[in-house]
Structure 1
Amino acid sequence: MKLFGKYKVDMIDIVSLAGVILTGLLIYYGYKGGLFESRESLIAYVNSFGFYSVLIFILIQVFQVVLPFLPAAVTCTAGIVLFGAGWGLFYNYLGISLGSIIAFLISRRYGQWIAKKMVGERLYQKYAAHLNKGKAFDRFFAISIIAPIAPDDALCYLAGLTSMSLKKFTLIILLGKPLPTALYSLGSAAIFNWLNIF
């Protein structure tokens, strides 16, 4: 934490703000350039990056978990629109899984203060009492990931504060994420399509 004048500024705040600004600029210039006028123009633009378009998209999915400034509904839908149902689902799953593991590791490394910063005080207090319940928390976490009944991105940060091993966490994520990712991605894509947004 450093002081700028009389204000205390965290690096997380700076990175989050930079992410919001960058996203806003990308959306603005994309709109001005006609990228969002049709599905075809958006696909053509992303495909112009060749192999790197896949890498860029996966990184966007990673960042929307680690630094949640992008709504998951938009990025998951974009995966389906840009790469089709099969590959789009796979890239969504890969990016979200990697982001979840990184969130866990960040929390494990930096502790409670980063978890509170990323999930917010209200959510932290809601689940704080469950963090020291060992296997009971592990079961709750697994159920939440397989059939999302809680904010799973936030729970990834909170899991990093528990005694859960990285191996167990990774196994839950890799086995639990495919079905909810598919349902969320295809459901969001169907809604966006119905609203004629993409």
Structure 2
Amino acid sequence: MTKAPDRRGPSLAEIEEQLIAGGEPPLLLRRKVVGGLVAAFVAAVIAYWATSDYFGISYTIDEEPFREWVDSFGLLGPLVFIVIMALSVLFAPIPNAPIFMAAGLAWGPVLGTAYCMAGLILGSAMAFWVARRFGRRHLPRLIGAKNAARVDSLVLEMGGRVVFWSRMIPAVNFDWISFVAGMTAIPFRVFIIYSALGMLFPTAISVVAGDGLGRDFRITLAAGGAWVAVIVISAAVYWRRRRNGARAA
């Protein structure tokens, strides 16, 4: 008896392997870029150690005037900040990193991260719905009907993992992901939950780095080290799986 063909389609693991094996690697996972980031971080640590120990240069900022100015707005201050954070997402590509660091300097790591996350989630939701309302119908026209169907299939197969890992890479301006997701078939609930989970780590790292500017610059360096470490680990996993995929092919 002839065995019926398997019509279930490729598994999640197979789809991921196909994505890794083909195409250009993401910018922050390319070997030269990763090597440059590591070299730049090591150079920054050496420069800090040399200038602070031998020349007595202090890199700590007096955060009190800035915090007093922020506190003068009362409850309005955090609300205005959250709105600004949300608008920075909606009107990409306004860079988020300086805003994250300012939040750390003004409110510290806990409240700063909370306010940033509130603004990011609000802005991501708005960008998602703008794209879904006005851009979804144009996706097949922009990239072709077959490619649009493939994108939808990929998003539905991988679910929130696509959103989560695209948000997790530090220093990537992930605002555009909200617009792209809005033009796919991913459910809003899945998008917003995995967006929040994926944004939490890089946002907290940036806020802690800002808080370190007002406390101890070594905190900022440690946050930068965590940022570089995540990039190195992500690149190592990516290239290992890419190499394994090439051998299997």
With the length of structure 2 as denominator, give the TM-score of the two structures.
0.51
CA-based RMSD: 3.3
Q: Give the aligned residue type for 2:177.
A: L
Classify 1:53/1:66 alpha carbon distance in 2 versus 1 (closer, same or farther; 3 Å). same
User: Is 1:134 the counterpart of 2:155 in the alignment?
Assistant: yes
Q: In structure 1, how many angstroms separate the alpha carbons of the residues matched to 2:91 and 2:170? A: 19
Listed as ranges, the gaps of 5+ residues in structure 2 are 1-60, 218-249
Classify 1:90/1:100 alpha carbon distance in 2 versus 1 (closer, same or farther; 3 Å). same
Classify 1:41/1:69 alpha carbon distance in 2 versus 1 (closer, same or farther; 3 Å). farther
User: Is the CA contact (8 Å cut-off) linking 1:131 and 1:159 kept in structure 2?
Assistant: no
1:105-135 CA-partner distances (Å, limit 9, x unpaired): 11111116999xxxxx9xx9xxx77633333
Classify 1:68/1:177 alpha carbon distance in 2 versus 1 (closer, same or farther; 3 Å). same
Of 186, 192, 202, the residue aligned with 1:180 is: 202
Which runs of structure 2 are paired with 1:15-164 in the superposition (5 Å)? 39-68=63-92, 70-111=94-135, 131-132=151-152, 133-136=154-157, 138=159, 139-148=161-170, 151-164=173-186
Q: In structure 2, how many angstroms separate the alpha carbons of the residues matched to 1:114 and 1:88? A: 38
User: Cα distance, 1:182 vs. partner?
Assistant: 0.8
**Number of the residue aligned with 1:23:** none
User: Is the CA contact (8 Å cut-off) linking 2:89 and 2:175 kept in structure 1?
Assistant: yes
User: Is the CA contact (8 Å cut-off) linking 1:81 and 1:189 kept in structure 2?
Assistant: yes
Q: In structure 2, how many angstroms separate the alpha carbons of the residues matched to 1:147 and 1:69? A: 17
User: Is the CA contact (8 Å cut-off) linking 2:163 and 2:198 kept in structure 1?
Assistant: no
Q: Give the aligned residue type for 1:40.
A: E
Q: Give the aligned residue type for 1:182.
A: A
- Give the share of equivalent positions with the same residue, in percent: 26
**Number of the residue aligned with 1:167:** 189
User: Cα distance, 1:191 vs. partner?
Assistant: 6.8
User: Is the CA contact (8 Å cut-off) linking 1:131 and 1:137 kept in structure 2?
Assistant: no
Higher relative contact order (CA 8 A, sep 6+): 2
Classify 1:85/1:148 alpha carbon distance in 2 versus 1 (closer, same or farther; 3 Å). closer
For the pair shown, the structure with the greater C-alpha radius of gyration is 2
Q: Secondary structure at the match of 1:134?
A: helix
Classify 1:144/1:79 alpha carbon distance in 2 versus 1 (closer, same or farther; 3 Å). same
Paired residues, number: 149
**Number of the residue aligned with 1:11:** none
**Number of the residue aligned with 2:40:** none
The worse-fitting range, judged by mean Cα deviation, of 77-86 and 173-182 is: 173-182
Listed as ranges, the gaps of 5+ residues in structure 1 are 1-36, 116-120
Classify 1:134/1:89 alpha carbon distance in 2 versus 1 (closer, same or farther; 3 Å). closer
With the length of structure 1 as denominator, give the TM-score of the two structures.
0.63
